[in-house]
Structures are given as C-alpha cells and as structure tokens.
Amino acid sequence: MSGAPASRAPSAKSLKIDAIRFMAALWVMLYHFGPPPFKAFFPASLAGVGGALWSGSVLLFAGPAAVIVFFVISGYCIHNAYHRDATLRPINYFASRYVRIGLPLAVVALLCQPLGNAANLLESVLWSLYCEIVYYTIYPVLRSRFRYVGEMIVGVALAAAVMVWYRHTHTQLVCAHCVYENYGVAGTAFLYLPGWLLGCLVAEMHRTAIDGRSSFRASALTAVIARCIGAVSGWLAKHLAAARVVIVAAGSFTFLLASTSHIKPAFLPFIGPDITLPVFQFVVAGWIAAETATQGSSAFWRYAGALGAWSYSLYLCHKLALAILGVTGYPQGETLAWLTTVAVAIATSYAFYCAVERPSHKLAHRLRKFVAKAPAQSVAD
C-alpha cells in the first residue's frame, strides 16, 4: 500500500490486501496466457478429462472480474492512505500518484519499442491504468465532499446504467463482449467508478467508525449504504471461505454470460460485461469489506502478501513475456512452451519491480511527505 511509510512493518490487514492484489494479478496473467495445457497431461483415452479441466480453468480465470477487484482495492488503499491527512497538499498528492503509476508505465512503453508487437499486447492491460489515473485525478475533489459519497455511488451507478442502455439501443457496438472499445477511457472509468468509491467508503468505515461514533458526518444515504455494507460484510466475515468461493464463482459467471463459446449452456443468455461487471463491483465491495475487517496473520497471507508487493509489475509486465518469446522463439512442446511463458513473465515482472517499481514507489512516498523548508529569515541588526 503506497500510503504506508516505507519503514513501517506491514500490518496483517495490509498483507491481506497485498495478497489479494497478487492473486488478482495472477488471475489476469492466466486469463491472458490461458490455463495449463491439461490435454497434454492425459493419454488419448482420457482426453475428455483434460479437455474438461482446460475448459473449466478458462472459465475460472476471469481476468476482467479480477480487474474489478483491483479497482475496489485501489479505492480502499487511496482513501486509507489519504483520509487521515488534515490537509491534502495537491502538488504532493499529484506528484506522488502520477510517479507511482506513471513512471513504471513510461519505462514499460520504452521497453516495448524494440520488441515488435509488445505495445499492441500491452493494450489489454493499459485501459485499467488509464482508469486509475482518472480516479487519482478526481479523488481530491471527491474527498472534499466525501460525506456525500453515497449520493455519488448511486448517482454514478444510475447514470452509467443509462449510458449502457443508450449505447446498446441507439448506437452500434464496436465489440459485443468489450467495454473499453465501446466506451473509451472516460466511459469505462465512469462505469467502474462506483466500485472504486465503494472501496473508499469501506476504508472510511474501518478507519473512522462511520456508524456515528466518530466526527465523520455522513449524509443519510451514505450512512444507509455504510450500514448495508457493514451488515453484509459482518455476515461474510463469519463465512469467509464460502465468500471466497462465491466471489470466484460470480466472477466466472460474468465471464460465462459474455461468452459465445459452443460449450456455453444454451439456456444462458448473452449478457455483456458492461452489464455484469458494474453489478459485480458491488459484490466485490462487500467481500473486500469482510476481508479487511478480519486479520490475515497466517503463513499463507504473509507469503502471498510479500508477493503482492510486486503485483503491479506482474500486471503491467506479464505480456512482455509473449513479446520476448516471440523474438527468441518458444521451446518445443505445448507444455514446455506454457511453462516457459509463465516463468519468463514472472522473472521479467520481478526484475522490473526491483529495477523500476520499487524505486518509483519510494520516490512517490518521499514526494507525498515532502515539505519545502521555509527560507531562513535574516536577523536585523
């Protein structure tokens, strides 16, 4: 979490957030690379088993749903880092945020130049970073009116629903199962803004006891939404294992509804992600509220949280592996080619984290805390 001081040991809660970020980045990578070639693991007599495992894994790793998890966590982390500041210094804030996300992005853009089609490959991840930049840019304004965040969530969700209705009924869709291609940066960011704001609200609930025991004066609608999130997350916190299964299944279901594959059950209608994912973000917010309300102190969360420190690099750089292997050539064999692709992606991403992301993160933290010293006044004789 970029708002935490670099010298402070990560809390069990922040480790949990980092772990979820890593798993979301892993989900996106496997969505882009495809699951392991299970068919190659079984003899011809069991080819059906391998095919079923492969098809199930394709459905399991729903990358677009994982990006929604990123958006909700992003809102949570930004507001958790900045809402405690009595005054948000705009220059420090914007310099910190843009360096944090923009410097690694600029370096990747330079690395793509000698790698042929790498720039085209990265387009499938850049759209979400553009949305993040939009959210970072408007956050200071939203923060100044945060007591009305409930009205913002409901108003934006309703306006986004009208936008989707109009796009489907009065215009020609560029791509039936696409969002960014149909709505552009502004429309896509608007569509998923409620999820990002819900992440901010979850952070506010956890940090300032929004139920009335703090100085935070929520509007009536914001208080109602907070109470609903609190009730849902309180129940989910008691059934976290089941909640995790449900969130993965719900993400896979959004992917299934948007699928045109012949293996999709005929009774299921086609419903695009511009309809399912805006609904899914509300489900994710309830789940993240439950996860962040509980501590993650087990060994799994510690190790996965450590991996989460470079989740941004994994998300940003994993497709460079395809470009690199496109130049050097893939090894023979479907299984070995898949394993090599994953290994190159992980190695490239971690190297990028060490060389670029971690230094940019430290620089962003310094920029956030930087305060210019006032010039010393000369003593009059």
pLDDT tens-digit profile of 201-251?
A: 999 988 775 444 455 688 999 999 999 999 999 999 999 999 999 999 999
Least confident of 118-122, 174-178, 180-184, 293-297: 118-122
For residue 375, the model assigns a pLDDT of 52
Buried b (16+ CB within 10 A) or exposed e, 72-101: bbbbbbbbbbbbeeeeeeeebbebbbbbbb
For residue 215, the model assigns a pLDDT of 57
- Residues 47-95 pLDDT 10s: 788 888 988 999 999 999 999 999 999 999 999 888 765 568 888 899 9
Residue 7's pLDDT band (boundaries 50, 70, 90)? very low
What lies within 8 Å, CB to CB, of 250 at 6+ separation is 65, 280, 283
Q: What angle do CA 294, 295, 301 make, to 5 degrees?
A: 125
Among the listed residues 281, 261, 260, the one whose alpha carbon sits nearest the alpha carbon of residue 271 = 260
For residue 223, the model assigns a pLDDT of 92
For residue 373, the model assigns a pLDDT of 57
Residue 313's pLDDT band (boundaries 50, 70, 90)? very high
Residue 43's pLDDT band (boundaries 50, 70, 90)? confident
Residue 3's pLDDT band (boundaries 50, 70, 90)? very low
Q: Is the pLDDT of residue 341 over 90?
A: yes
User: What is the number of alpha carbons within 13 Å of residue 18 lying toward its C-beta?
Assistant: 24
Quote the mean pLDDT of the chain: 87
For residue 119, the model assigns a pLDDT of 67
Most confident listed range (4-8, 84-88, 328-332, 375-379)? 328-332
For residue 116, the model assigns a pLDDT of 72
Which letter does DSSP use for residue 298 in this model? S
For residues 94-107, average pLDDT: 92
Pseudo-torsion of CA 274, 280, 285, 290, nearest 10°? -160
Q: What percent of the chain has pLDDT over 70?
A: 89
Q: Is the pLDDT of residue 162 over 90?
A: yes
Q: Is the pLDDT of residue 152 over 90?
A: yes
For residue 15, the model assigns a pLDDT of 83
How would DSSP label each residue in 246-291?
Answer: HHHHHHHHHHHHT---TTS-TTSPP--HHHHHHHHHHHHHHHHHHH
Most confident listed range (16-20, 281-285, 315-319, 333-337)? 281-285
For residue 239, the model assigns a pLDDT of 93
Residue 379's pLDDT band (boundaries 50, 70, 90)? very low
Whether 368 contacts 12, CB under 8 Å: no
Q: What percent of the chain has pLDDT over 90?
A: 59
For residues 141-154, average pLDDT: 94
For residue 10, the model assigns a pLDDT of 53
- The number of beta carbons lying within 10 Å of the beta carbon of residue 239 is 12
For residue 206, the model assigns a pLDDT of 84
Q: Is the pLDDT of residue 372 over 90?
A: no
Residue 5's pLDDT band (boundaries 50, 70, 90)? very low
Whether 236 contacts 287, CB under 8 Å: yes
Among the listed residues 189, 180, 286, the one whose alpha carbon sits nearest the alpha carbon of residue 228 = 286
